[in-house]
């Protein structure tokens, strides 16, 4: 028979063990220059756990965050057709006094007049949805911005030339529902989540391959004004664990200023082609030898992938190449055909319009915007039809093996590995610490 004190002693030993591990982890954090962390509470719709650490850059001019803010940093990119009300809702702002202020303040006119697609708007939002601060970049100088801040019983709005400093943030999250749900719960800006999908998009199909329990850790730079994040910048290192497989990426920039992401052994993370021509969307019709055409009502092969997306969503070329055709073509409607190295071509159909200056013969780089989602041609609604061809033969872009870009030169490996191993140690530390806290 188990003595009653045995259970208590076992629990005490376990608690003591956890305290010892916590103390050791804290000491390791202090030695590695990591000074603060916090775990976000669970929610009803997304029970994700995360740990956040803010680290200082080596440069002495860079400021250091030493405590986690009680507010959430939100960041979104403006799309065609967006309105001020829609953007405030998307930022999670629920502040009854804000909209009347925006309409009566002359300083906020720019917010309504300069909603250019691609511009990034960011905000600090309290847990109850009230606005703490909103940053809206103005046309012209990059660091000239409209800044709206909460005052004692109202708001202040003014145009400022922002004095920005750089901070490094490190965060991790577990996926329970979606990549963006996990990022939002962890307070990670949308641009960083999109960056993760961009970096690992050649290895992970973010439309189909994400699993509940997948996790990621990311180290990234932010530009801040008076301690408040203004915009997220470059991802320095990331780990993504998908279905038990770990993928890593580390930023490296050579002496000529050319940079890219590489695995810990110096292989390029970048593929010759992106998996998807849209940053993030859902697939409505896959590659098939026989499909009932939604307009014609007949069975016919579907030699591409259809992505549902709102009209005006940016379409990017999946690889470097030359525009071979940009115009209208029967059932495709407005279409762009890009010719790539070797015998590969990609096609983007049903567009609502083309990127400015796009024409036959123009060179385009991987990820460059070439047009916008629409419903031209034989289409029942706004979506993008994407095709990938090799020697004129259609191939399934979701199944084909994509070749890697060139690896680092041997002469660059020592410097790269020293930096990558340091970043990897920080990622492993914060990842392991999180599981100790959740045990």
3-class DSSP state for residue 196? helix
Phi then psi dihedrals of residue 373, to 5 deg: -60, 140
Q: Label residue 61 by pLDDT band (50, 70, 90).
A: very low
Do 241 and 218 form a contact (C-beta atoms < 8 A)? Answer: no
Report the Cα 363 to chain-centroid distance in Å: 26
**How would you class 67 by CB atoms within 10 Å of its CB: exposed for 0-12, middle for 13-18, buried for 19 or more?**
exposed
CA distance 313 to 281: 10
Domains of the chain as residue ranges with CATH: 34-67+165-271+415-438 (3.10.450.350), 73-161 (3.10.450.350), 282-395 (2.70.70.10)
- pLDDT tens for residues 29-45? 433 333 333 333 332 33
**What mean pLDDT is predicted for residues 88-105?**
89
**Best CA proximity match to 47, nearest among 162, 292, 213:** 213
Per-residue confidence (pLDDT) for residue 215, from 0 to 100: 92
**Best CA proximity match to 420, nearest among 250, 171, 271:** 250
**What mean pLDDT is predicted for residues 114-127?**
84
Token look-up 């015998």 returns 343
Beta bridge partners of 261: 251
Q: Label residue 376 by pLDDT band (50, 70, 90).
A: very high
Report how far apart the first and last C-alpha atoms of the chain are (Å, whole number): 28
Which two structure tokens, joined as six digits, stand for 14?
A: 């376990």
Q: Has residue 402 got a pLDDT over 80?
A: no
CA distance 219 to 52: 10
Q: 99-113, 154-168, 304-318 — which is least confidently predicted?
A: 154-168
Q: Label residue 407 by pLDDT band (50, 70, 90).
A: confident
Q: Has residue 377 got a pLDDT over 90?
A: yes
CA distance 259 to 19: 42
CA distance 125 to 1: 56
- The secondary structure element, H or E, covering residue 103 is helix 98-104
* Mean pLDDT (the chain, rounded): 77
Q: Has residue 356 got a pLDDT over 50?
A: yes
Q: Percentage of the chain with pLDDT > 70?
A: 74
Q: 53-62, 103-112, 366-375 — which is least confidently predicted?
A: 53-62
Beta bridge partners of 144: 161
**What mean pLDDT is predicted for residues 264-269?**
90
CA distance 87 to 111: 11
**Best CA proximity match to 187, nearest among 175, 174, 171:** 171
Do 389 and 348 form a contact (C-beta atoms < 8 A)? Answer: no
Q: Has residue 79 got a pLDDT over 60?
A: yes
- pLDDT tens for residues 312-353? 889 999 999 999 999 999 889 999 999 998 899 999 999 999
Q: Has residue 6 got a pLDDT over 50?
A: no
3-class DSSP state for residue 3? coil
**What mean pLDDT is predicted for residues 99-127?**
85
Q: Label residue 405 by pLDDT band (50, 70, 90).
A: confident
Q: 278-282, 396-400, 423-427 — which is least confidently predicted?
A: 278-282
Phi then psi dihedrals of residue 138, to 5 deg: -95, 160
Q: What share of the chain is helix, strand, coil (3-state, %, to 5)?
A: 25, 35, 40
Per-residue confidence (pLDDT) for residue 400, from 0 to 100: 80
Q: Has residue 143 got a pLDDT over 60?
A: yes
């Amino acid at each position: 028979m188990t003595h009653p004190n045995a259970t208590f002693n076992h629990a005490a030993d376990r608690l003591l063990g956890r305290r010892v591990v916590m103390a050791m982890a804290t000491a390791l954090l202090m030695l590695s220059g990591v000074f603060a962390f916090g775990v976000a509470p669970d929610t009803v719709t997304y029970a994700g756990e995360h740990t956040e650490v803010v680290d200082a850059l080596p440069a002495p001019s860079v400021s250091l965050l030493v405590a986690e803010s009680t507010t959430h940093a939100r960041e979104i990119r403006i799309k065609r057709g967006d309105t001020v009300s829609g953007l405030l809702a998307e930022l999670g702002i629920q502040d009854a006094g804000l909209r009347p202020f925006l309409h009566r303040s002359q300083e906020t006119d720019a917010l309504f007049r300069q909603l250019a697609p691609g511009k990034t708007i960011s905000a600090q939002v309290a847990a109850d949805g009230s606005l703490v601060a909103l940053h809206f970049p103005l046309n012209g100088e990059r660091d000239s911005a409209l800044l709206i801040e909460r005052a004692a019983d109202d708001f202040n709005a003014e145009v400022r030339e922002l004095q920005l400093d750089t901070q490094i943030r490190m965060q991790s999250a577990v996926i329970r529902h979606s990549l963006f749900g996990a990022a939002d719960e962890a307070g990670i800006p949308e641009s960083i989540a999109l960056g993760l999908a961009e970096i690992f998009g050649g290895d992970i199909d973010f439309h189909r391959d994400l699993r509940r329990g997948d996790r990621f850790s990311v180290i990234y730079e932010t530009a801040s004004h008076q301690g408040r994040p203004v915009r997220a910048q470059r991802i320095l290192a990331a780990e993504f664990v998908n279905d038990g497989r770990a993928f890593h990426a580390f930023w490296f920039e050579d002496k000529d200023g050319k940079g890219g992401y590489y695995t810990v052994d110096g292989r390029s993370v970048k593929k010759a082609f992106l998996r998807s021509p849209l940053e993030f969307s859902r697939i409505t019709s896959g590659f098939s030898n026989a499909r009932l055409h939604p307009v014609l009502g007949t069975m016919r092969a579907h030699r591409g992938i259809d992505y549902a997306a709102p009209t005006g969503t940016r379409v990017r070329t999946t690889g470097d190449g030359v525009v071979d055709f940009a115009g209208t073509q029967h059932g495709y409607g407005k279409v762009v055909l890009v010719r790539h190295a070797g015998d590969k071509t990609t096609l983007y159909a049903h567009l609502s319009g083309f990127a400015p200056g796009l024409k036959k013969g123009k060179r385009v780089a991987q990820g460059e915007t070439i047009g916008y989602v629409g419903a031209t041609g034989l289409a029942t609604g706004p979506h993008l039809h994407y095709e990938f061809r090799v020697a004129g033969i259609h191939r399934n872009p979701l199944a084909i093996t994509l070749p890697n870009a060139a690896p680092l030169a041997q002469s660059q490996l020592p410097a790269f590995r020293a930096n990558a191993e340091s970043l990897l140690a920080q990622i492993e530390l914060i990842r392991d610490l999180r599981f100790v806290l959740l045990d």
